[in-house]
Amino acid sequence: MSARALTILTTAALCGACEFGKTTIPDGDPIVVVHAVLRPDVSQQWILVEQTLTGSAIDLSSGSIPGNPPQVPISEAIVTVVNVTLPSDPCGATLFTEAPTDPDLPRSLGLYWGPRDCPTMRTGDTMELLVETLDGHVVSGRMEIPGADAMVLRVEADSALLPGPTLIFNRDIDTLDAEVFPTVGRALQLEVHRADSVGMPIPVIRLFVDTTRMTVPGNMTNFFAVVLGEEDSTEAEDAQSVFRAGRYYAVTLALMDDRFFDFARSGNMPISGRGFVNNLEGGMGVFGGIVAESNQLKAVGEIDDAREGAYTMQGTVDGRSVNIDVELYVVATDQDTTATSAFVMGQWFYGEIDTSADGLFVGDGFALTIYKTDPADSTILSSHVISGSLGSGDTFTVDVYDRGQTVVGQLSATRVSTTASGS
């Protein structure tokens, strides 16, 4: 037996007779956490006020702020923001409240809303935050309002001054270039969203850099979804690729101030608590600002599947004339089932449409779902499936089904092109 092995056995034998003492760790003291990011590009500001978990048993079944991990909201605090650069601000010291006058605004304990268009915020203005809780905690912070002379998106030779015209973006060969020209500010943040089946925005990816320019390749992989295990087996390509041909995307550029940038780039280690860059006195969190603009991107791709291309479809749905153009793309294949997306434009049975539809191919048979949503609250007003089989010719028949899976129309479809938009 080696000396090392003998040492290990001896140590184990000695420890077998050891008794470890028991120590009860007391509950920690709660710390006030404030999330306040001012946006002069929107009309109404909001601030979250919470507290850290202390280790004591609490009831999180109600009262926690929706859309966040379990946290403890702090209610009935006095939350004010003052523009110290503008003593004559007509808003005065802006008081934020958990009971906003607008009934359409979300309400929750710990969620505080300012009045519309207050406080006054101009590029370069210095703002001060003050949060006073019922138990005597006082949190304060200071920041400077960012501003940009221009925000620009470029796709090869085309460009858009945000907000501007829709840019056509070939995800297979193009590169997206984003740039902000700051007056006051620190860094660039880029977010990509797509609309879900009812028109609600779904975040695809969020990136930020310590510069004012960023380049994103069209075939970029959403590595965050892969690392975090967010792949959906039915739409694996969606989880792995930022852009999918046949879909519209909203690309948002934001200029961050230095305090929000510090908040975004730092993290709180769960055990040590180290690593987080805090800019508040008397608590922790962020008091910062951003300005943002969005632009629509139409993602197309190379035609590399015999089923892809442009089709015209004419006929009637619910007794009304229909004349639409469908630009169809194959996305990802799983055995015999293939995901597909398409742009649908033209005269639909309820009027003009210009939308993106998702569906499936099974062999040469396809089905695409077209939704009509209420722009006010994005509820579904109608849902129809167009379904057919491409067959061997360029002309074929498409059936239209309503939400009850009843055939309510029939279209004559013709393939007219095998090139992408803008090609």
Residues 181, 295 within the same domain: yes
Whether 22 is covered by a domain: the verdict is no
Whether 279 is covered by a domain: the verdict is no
Q: What is the pLDDT of residue 231?
A: 45
Q: What is the pLDDT of residues 137-182, one digit of tens each?
A: 999 999 999 999 999 999 999 999 999 999 999 999 999 999 999 9
Domain stop point among 120, 144, 168: 144
Which residue, 306, 303, 339, 341, is CA-closest to 421? 303
Distance CA 206, CA 120 (A): 28
Strand spans (E) along 210-350: 213-217, 247-256, 284-300, 309-317, 320-334, 337-348
Whether 47 is covered by a domain: the verdict is yes
Residues 140, 162 within the same domain: no
Q: What is the pLDDT of residues 245-262, one digit of tens each?
A: 999 999 999 999 999 999
Q: What is the pLDDT of residues 37-82, one digit of tens each?
A: 999 999 999 999 999 876 665 555 545 555 555 578 999 999 999 9
- For 232, the domain range is 147-266+288-300
Residues 199, 98 within the same domain: no
Of residues 353 and 238, which shows the higher confidence score? 353
Which residue, 164, 124, 161, is CA-closest to 144? 124
Which residue, 108, 35, 99, 113, is CA-closest to 66? 108
Tell me the residue length of the chain.
Answer: 423
Residues 176, 244 within the same domain: yes
Domain stop point among 144, 170, 203: 144
Q: What is the pLDDT of residues 270-321, one digit of tens each?
A: 555 567 899 999 999 999 999 999 999 999 999 988 899 999 999 999 999 9
Q: Which CATH number goes with the domain that contains 233?
A: 2.60.40.10
- Total domains in the chain come to 3
- Position 24 pLDDT exceeds 80: no
Query: Cα 190 to the chain's mean position, in Å?
Result: 10
User: How do strand 395-401 and strand 380-389 relate by DSSP bridges?
Assistant: antiparallel
Residues 44, 158 within the same domain: no
Whether 275 is covered by a domain: the verdict is no
- Position 204 pLDDT exceeds 80: yes
Whether 258 is covered by a domain: the verdict is yes
Residues 295, 315 within the same domain: no
Which helix (H) or strand (E) element contains residue 379?
A: none
Q: What is the pLDDT of residues 98-151, one digit of tens each?
A: 999 898 888 889 999 999 999 999 999 999 999 999 999 999 999 999 999 999
Q: Which CATH number goes with the domain that contains 110?
A: 2.60.40
Q: Are 109 and 73 in contact (CB under 8 A)?
A: yes
Residues 6+ apart with CB under 8 A from 226: 239, 240
Q: What is the pLDDT of residue 376?
A: 66
Whether 7 is covered by a domain: the verdict is no
Distance CA 285, CA 306 (A): 53
Residues 157, 261 within the same domain: yes
Residues 293, 315 within the same domain: no
- Position 194 pLDDT exceeds 80: yes
pLDDT, mean of residues 314-343:
86
Judged by DSSP in three states, 30 sits in coil
Whether 367 is covered by a domain: the verdict is yes
- Position 233 pLDDT exceeds 50: no
Neighbouring-strand partners of residue 414:
312, 395
Q: How confident is the model at residue 419 (pLDDT cuts 50, 70, 90)?
A: low
Domain stop point among 144, 177, 199: 144
- Position 7 pLDDT exceeds 50: no
- Position 238 pLDDT exceeds 60: no
Rounded to the nearest 10°, the torsion over CA 416, 419, 422, 423 is: -130
Distance CA 267, CA 395 (A): 57
User: DSSP string of 96-122?
Assistant: EBSS-S-TTS---TTEEEPPTT-S---
- Which segment of 11-20, 32-41, 279-288 scores lowest on mean pLDDT? 11-20
Q: Which CATH number goes with the domain that contains 367?
A: 2.40.128.620
Please tell me whether the peptide bond between 217 and the residue prior to it is cis, using omega within 30 degrees of 0: no
Residues 138, 175 within the same domain: no
Query: Cα 314 to the chain's mean position, in Å?
Result: 36
Q: What is the pLDDT of residue 202?
A: 83
Q: Are 263 and 288 in contact (CB under 8 A)?
A: yes
Q: Are 315 and 412 in contact (CB under 8 A)?
A: yes
Residues 84, 181 within the same domain: no
Whether 8 is covered by a domain: the verdict is no
Residues 295, 155 within the same domain: yes
- Position 229 pLDDT exceeds 60: no
